[in-house]
Structure 1
Amino acid sequence: MSVPPRITAPAGAASPRDLLAAQERRRLAREALPRIRASATGWRNAIGVLMAGLVGFGLVKGRTDVGQLEQTWAAVVGGLLLAGLVSGAWGAYLLNRAAHGPLASVPAGSHATRSAIEHRETVEALSAMRRGIVLSLGCAILLVLAVGATWYGPAAKEPALELTSPGTGSVCGAVTRVARGTIWLTSGDTTVEIPLADVTRLRTVEACP
């Protein structure tokens, strides 16, 4: 047995306060998308300046060649740089998507109202902006970590020392010991003992000739 629909008394007339509240909600909904677009543009420009400062102006620098790092650390630096590149590219796309809209048009047969389309785009733009900010800042963090690894990572080869003294001439090798005013340099299977008082020239080199 079906239940007949109930007919209730009509609601009372809207008060001026209700009308003002409805107008305010309509205004906020109409202005939400332009505000998000402007905010996304500001974030995109700010992060662009940050990345330009990190990369273009050399605010952070490490070794110029990751081949100077120990093999495992070189692989870690390469992974961080690759992750930073992917994160930065995807973050830049999302920020541009939030600032300018999707790379797609509304289907011609869509029956959605203008307000419904703008509301959906507002929600999607806000989500894209938030994710774009996180990914772009993550790119900056990954870049700093990669540069830090090139600073503090172990070298593939220990730096060598080149000494010149009257008794030995020019000698190059890795320092194996320093004690009682004497330094021991090892090159291959040969170890040379040199008094520091006799050293007339001393410099560090990446590798012995």
Structure 2
Amino acid sequence: MPVPGARLRPGPAATAADLRRAEFLTEQLGPNGELRRVRVAATAWRNGLAGLLLALTGFTLITGRSDVGQLARPAGIAAGLLLAASLTAGGAGAWLLLRAAHGVPRVLPANGPVDPVALDHEEALDALRDLRAGRLLVLLHTVLLAAAVATTWYGPAREDPVLRIRTDTQSVCGTPGAVRGDVLELKTPEGPLAVDLSRVTQLAAASSCPPAP
């Protein structure tokens, strides 16, 4: 609202520092200025994520277990959940980084004023949010994947089922092996043992063998 009697006077002349600051802001906020920098950073993170996945995949093939089915049940479930969470975080992070690097299609209004600087600034802010969230998800993916690999490698192994066999002369316990005719090869803590199946009086499956007397 105009003030009665007010007079407008020109301000002080711009200094060299003011001109340099204006040029800097124009360059930074100009067409594709800040947006280009965010896109470049997102592309670098996207490439880093791809390299990280390749490195971790190659490292897991070097040594250690490759099948969670070889783990005991609690460790196997934990490894599966960690791997699923890692893949979810990695997929979401990759999507956000791709969106930050390349943007998403948008429809501009056919009528009305369009400010390219404002549009670039808005798109740069959206890309920056995607980049920050994508980086966090990539780090979370790395931690979860490392935990899944460690659980697979160092978790307790699943014990093979054992048989408790009683014959007319002895009682033995061990892991069943090959069967040749009427003879069963039994792997016992004392070593391999041949059991004549025709002389078996009792046979039962067990989770473990009793301790040796």
- Cross-structure match for 1:117: 119
- Cross-structure match for 1:200: none
Residues 66 and 150, structure 1, Cα contact 8 Å, conserved in 2: yes
How far did 1:42 drift?
1.3
Q: 1: distance between equivalents of 2:26 and 2:114?
A: 18
How far did 1:103 drift?
3.8
**1:107–1:139 Cα change, 3 Å:** farther
Q: Which runs of 4+ in 1 moved over 6 A?
A: 159-162, 189-193
- Cross-structure match for 2:187: 172
Q: 1:73 corresponds to which letter in structure 2?
A: A
* Residue 45 (structure 1) aligned with residue 60 (structure 2): no
Residues 68 and 155, structure 1, Cα contact 8 Å, conserved in 2: yes
Q: Secondary structure at the match of 1:89?
A: helix
**1:148–1:159 Cα change, 3 Å:** farther
Q: How does 1:92-131 map to 2 (within 5 A)?
A: 92-109=94-111, 111-131=113-133
Residues 97 and 131, structure 2, Cα contact 8 Å, conserved in 1: yes
* Residue 65 (structure 1) aligned with residue 80 (structure 2): no
Match of 1:54 among 41, 48, 56: 56
How far did 1:115 drift?
0.7
Q: 1:75 corresponds to which letter in structure 2?
A: I
Consecutive unaligned residues of structure 2, counting only runs of 5 or more, are 163-173, 176-184, 193-204
The TM-score with structure 2 as length reference comes to 0.69
Q: Secondary structure at the match of 2:65?
A: coil
* Residue 146 (structure 1) aligned with residue 155 (structure 2): no
- Cross-structure match for 1:137: 139
Residues 47 and 137, structure 1, Cα contact 8 Å, conserved in 2: no
Identity of aligned residues (%): 36
Q: 2: distance between equivalents of 1:118 and 1:13?
A: 31
Residues 40 and 99, structure 1, Cα contact 8 Å, conserved in 2: yes
Q: 2: distance between equivalents of 1:184 and 1:35?
A: 68
Residues 49 and 94, structure 2, Cα contact 8 Å, conserved in 1: no
Residues 87 and 138, structure 1, Cα contact 8 Å, conserved in 2: yes
Q: 1: distance between equivalents of 2:191 and 2:62?
A: 36
How far did 1:73 drift?
1.7
Q: 2: distance between equivalents of 1:75 and 1:139?
A: 18
Q: How does 1:79-98 map to 2 (within 5 A)?
A: 79-98=81-100
* Residue 24 (structure 1) aligned with residue 24 (structure 2): yes
The RMSD of aligned alpha carbons is: 3.4
The TM-score with structure 1 as length reference comes to 0.70
What does the per-residue CA deviation read over 1:80-104, in whole Å, with 9 as the maximum and x for residues that have no partner? 1111111111111111111111243
Q: 1: distance between equivalents of 2:90 and 2:63?
A: 19
Residues 93 and 137, structure 2, Cα contact 8 Å, conserved in 1: yes
Equivalent residue pairs, number: 178
Q: Secondary structure at the match of 2:12?
A: coil
- Cross-structure match for 1:36: 38
How far did 1:9 drift?
2.5
- Cross-structure match for 2:171: none
Q: 1:147 corresponds to which letter in structure 2?
A: V
**1:61–1:128 Cα change, 3 Å:** farther
Q: Secondary structure at the match of 2:187?
A: strand
